[in-house]
Amino acid sequence: MTDAPVDPTTTRAWKALGAIVTDGFDPDLRGWFDADPQRAERYTLEAADLTVDLSKNLLTEEVLGHLLDLAREVDVTGRYRAMLAGEHINVTEDRAVLHTALRRPSDGDLTPPKPFTVDGEDVDEGVHGVLEKVYAFADQVRDGSWTGMTGERIRTVVNIGIGGSDLGPVMVYEALKPSVQDGLEVRFVSNIDPSDVYEKTADLDPATTLFIVASKTFGTLETLTNARLARQWLWQGLADAGAIEDTDESRRGAVSKHFVAVSTALDKVADFGIDPDNAFGFWDWVGGRYSVDSAIGTSVAIAIGREGFEQFLAGFHAVDEHMRTAPLESNVPVLMGLLNVWYTNFLDAQTHAVLPYAQYLHRFPAYLQQLTMESNGKSVRWDGSPVTTDTGEVFWGEPGTNGQHAFYQLIHQGTRLIPADFIAVANPAHALKDGDTDVHALFLANFFAQTKALAFGKTADEVRAEGVDEAVVPARTFPGNRPTTSILAPSLTPSVVGQLIALYEHITFVEGTVWGIDSFDQWGVELGKKLAQEITPAVQGDRAALDAQDPSTRSLIAKYLDLRR
Ligand code: F6P
């Protein structure tokens, strides 16, 4: 799939969608629901355990027909198949893109069938080999047979990573907190701001702490710096407690019991001093932001155990299979991706809100920011030519109901179109009551109310009918026709969390395919990293390095050096 991408703007479907807008597309969700009693049913779909209601989107049969044609014209299905088959669709890095292989079951009816060989390697053998090693290690930590230098069991696991080596694990850990083994806690250090590692370790006992250094490349400045700080903290703490001696051998012994690593660069892991036996590998065909279901999820596997992690992977796989087998008309990731294209490229939406009505999903929007924006924030296509239309939406969000009391005002009555995904689960982890009131039901009443208000609004006449002073009628009127997708799952199980992640991975894929971009590279993060390295001597007082900076950066650094005590 290294052929030149189809320019979506030249397709018949694109032109037809454009014509609908130029002819004065005038969304009318009230009218559409009145005219079509089947609308809710027709646009409510299932993907594994997820019920997805698309009916409150700015969608007509005509628009839908053209969006589906667009998917056909840019060959979303063909490109997905190419991805599953291990073709090098990550063109700029000349790599296969095989996160879907991370969750293939070890047996059963598989597509592609076994043996599945990519670039000369049996993919399933590699994936399941690493998984077994992760599970065996997780078992040891969970049952207390993995001990630290003093022979005590591990009570706190600290994952050190950033980007895909942090956002996925922390999001899933938070989402599945009720399933975490009692007596075990996982913390996450990501920022190179020293306050992060300081705060996360300040109250810990080194004797019962295990660090996982998670880095695909094992070359990321933030992660390696934090890993060295953590190692220093460990040595100091163990020495103060008399648990190690002042020798290299003793310190090496401490690292072997308190540090493990996850990386594709096992040679660099060894250079850091971590025993390769305590390292879990993965492959360059897994992008960082697509890696939580690889060994990068080791912290999660420790927290929820083998069975939980297997269910997590099964959830991903169920949605992969839905994406592969469901016809385009009922294919949830395809339709959600196409709707995003509709809003972005035809209705001028620039951002997309993701609003989980599940407190345990509070890190989901942050996770999606990397998944979607590092994937699709591109200005060139996979053949190097400029994109032909806008790409990438700004994803953002906070859990409901907190968002309702913060930024929903703008979604309801602002001048911008903000498509929003509402996500809820029917069964809470904690079924608390306030008197006779089921608090989760109260919570979900908000979930239902918000999408209703956004879709149908409140007319000026309805406001007047409440006896409102005419002068404030405009301020109290809600225009409606604000598009939302509602996603409802039975409960927040490991499987459902895997399903949600896979859903958004594939939505991202669909959008990237329409735009003709390589959603699997991230060259845009390189320049800043390189400049930070060049600037480091200047902020440490090197005069020549300071003089070499542009005037603005030079004066800012000079001010910093003045302020620094
Ligand atoms: O800088 C961006 C990035 O490369 C992400 O894509 C990646 O998830 C993150 O850095 C961390 O990289 P690594 O896992 O190699 O430390």
Q: Report ipTM (2 d.p.).
A: 0.98
Q: Quick check: pTM over 0.80? A: yes
**Ligand 1 pocket, residue 190 CB under 6 Å:** no
Please tell me the distance between residue 58's alpha carbon and the centre of ligand 1 in angstroms. Answer: 36
Q: What is the CATH number of domain 29-57+342-493?
A: 3.40.50.10490
Closest Cα to atom 9 of ligand 1: 163
Check if 452 is active-site. no
* Ligand 1 in reach of 340 Cβ (< 6 A): no
DSSP 410-468: HHHHSSS---EEEEEEEE-SS--EETTEEHHHHHHHHHHHHHHHHHH-B-HHHHHTTT-
| Residue from 174, 222, 374, 393 carrying the catalytic annotation | 374
Residue 2 has a pLDDT of 58
Selecting among 152, 529, 534, 559, the annotated active-site residue is 529
- 208: nearest Cα among 232, 188, 190, 183: 183
Atom of ligand 1 minimally distant from the CA of 161: 16
Domains 29-57+342-493 and 118-299 share a fold: yes
Q: Say how many Å lie between the CA of residue 163 and the centre of ligand 1.
A: 5
Question: Ligand 1 centre and the CA of 271: distance in Å?
Answer: 19
Q: Rounded to whole angstroms, how far apart are CA atoms 331 and 334? A: 5
CB of 485 within 6 A of ligand 1: the answer is no
Domain ranges of the chain: 29-57+342-493, 118-299, 526-564
Q: Which CATH architecture has domain 118-299?
A: 3-Layer(aba) Sandwich (3.40)
Q: In ligand 1, which atom is closest to the CA atom of 374? A: 6
Closest CA to ligand 1's atom 10: 163
Which among 405, 470, 526, 530 is annotated as catalytic? Answer: 405
User: Which tokens go with 153?
Assistant: 């069991």
Q: Which atom of ligand 1 is nearest to the CA of 162?
A: 11
Distance of CA 262 to the CA centre of its chain: 19
412 is catalytic: no
Residues of the chain with pLDDT under 70: 1-2
